[in-house]
Amino acid sequence: MELLIVGTLNGQIGAASKIAISKGGQVSLADNIEKAIDILCSGAAIELVMVDVTLDVHKLISSLEAARINVLVVACGVANDTSLAVKAIKAGAKEYIPLPPDPELIGAVLAAATRENHALIYGDKKTEAILKMAKQIAPSEASILLTGSSGTGKEIFSRFIHDNSKRANQKFVAVNCAAIPEALLESELFGYEKGAFTGAVARRIGKFEEASGGTLLLDEISEMNIGLQAKLLRAIQEKEIDRLGGKAPIKVDTRIIATSNRNLEQCVADGTFRQDLYYRLNVINLRIPDLRDRQGDIIVLAKHFIKKYSELNELPMKDLSVGAEKMLLNYLWPGNVRELENTMHRAVLLASGDEIDENAIMLQDTSAIKSTEAEPTAAVGQTIASVERKLILDTMESTSWNRSVAATILGISIRTLRNKLKQYQEEGFDIPSVHQE
């Protein structure tokens, strides 16, 4: 665990550093927000930031979000800084640690940061078999391709592979290729030198360099444009990258894990994905089944999310009623684990009795509830394009035109959904001009 302490912490910085080191942490120091941002943007393998609550926590967190740097931030201050503590939490700090520092509390925060979002909860034999295979291949240096629908937990499986590899003590860096605009993805991956383009006011280390020695997850790689795929292939083959505006290649030692919710073989056939890159990535392929196909995971995960969100919202833990369990098991979960998590978060907040019963389980897509009745006949006489358009528009309508939720339910990327909506608008269909993400 590499820790960055920002500020003087009212003279307690020395004590906090010593406690963190005694708990197995490696500590870097920054006396102000600007220096902290420089350190984090330089590619330092920081996993936890402890910031003096009297500093501009909002500026720190918003700067990290703008630079797409994912790191856990906790605020620290003297015990009577109540208003500042509340302000820091609202700005996005995960926790508030009162000073002088308590060894047990700092140890607990470090431990929590280490396992933050790394929990892999399961109860199904299919998931157990996948994890057995993942653990077997993890120590190798081979590239790994994880495929499966959106929301199945591919990033969690990727972290599991990293945590069981020879690189476990090095950094795990994730890049969502679908979430970053095409024009920015190259600089995100390979970095840039000061002055490389308008707005490049300082050198920025790319994700390849940041993950050197560790693992780089290229999430939803099928959304990467074909031109950038060629540069990615060279980086993987030659183990070197070129920063934008740089004068010489930079050697990297980065293991690649890639994920896709699309059929990459079909993408190769369609000409949207390079065949040579596909073969380079597809040394080992792990297919993650949809949640509906691993029934043994559903209740185990539901109870995990109940515990998580009960603690987060400081609510008492409640058991699932028999009826609620039946509802969860009879639902097809088109949004997979991500949809189950959102459903259980709502249920924790809505449950009014001693249990979480059926009244608290609000399912987004009632058409995905299993039925013993005969399946409806196909839409004979309609084209595939028209059926697809109706499905997309009906889903958008049911989610109040929230693209993120709709894309999850449909099992496609936001970029694909955005392009479809643009196409329908050009074809003359009435598409609201404002869409939520």
pTM over cut 0.85: no
Q: In CATH, what number does 291-368 get?
A: 1.10.8.60
Asked if the domains at 126-287 and 376-437 fall in one CATH topology, the answer is no
| 378 pLDDT higher than 70 | no
Gap between the Cα atoms of 410 and 401, Å rounded: 13
Residue type (1 letter), 433 = S
The DSSP output letter for 29 is: E
Strands 215-219 and 240-241: unpaired
Residues 344-356: pLDDT tens digits? 999 999 998 899 9
Residues 250-262: pLDDT tens digits? 999 999 999 999 9
Q: In CATH, what number does 376-437 get?
A: 1.10.10.60
Structure token digits, residue 269 = 């056939």
Q: Residue 260's CB: how many other CB atoms inside 10 A? A: 24
Q: How many residues appear in the chain?
A: 437
Share of the chain above pLDDT 90, in %: 39
Residues 197-247: pLDDT tens digits? 877 778 888 899 989 999 999 999 999 999 999 999 999 999 999 988 888
Greatest mean pLDDT range, 253-262, 301-310, 373-382: 253-262
Cβ pair 96, 74 in contact under 8 A: yes
Return the CATH class of domain 126-287: alpha beta
pLDDT at residue number 372: 44
- Kindly report the average pLDDT of the chain as a whole number: 84
Task: Tell me the DSSP string of 299-345.
Answer: HHHHHHHHHHHHHHTT----EEPHHHHHHHHTB--TTHHHHHHHHHH
Q: For 319-345, what is the mean pLDDT?
A: 93
Number of continuous H segments (helices) and E segments (strands) in the chain: 18, 16
Domain ranges of the chain: 2-115, 126-287, 291-368, 376-437
Structure token digits, residue 132 = 């057995």
The CATH number fitting domain 2-115, selected from 3.20.20.300, 3.40.190.10, 3.40.50.2300, 3.30.70.141 = 3.40.50.2300
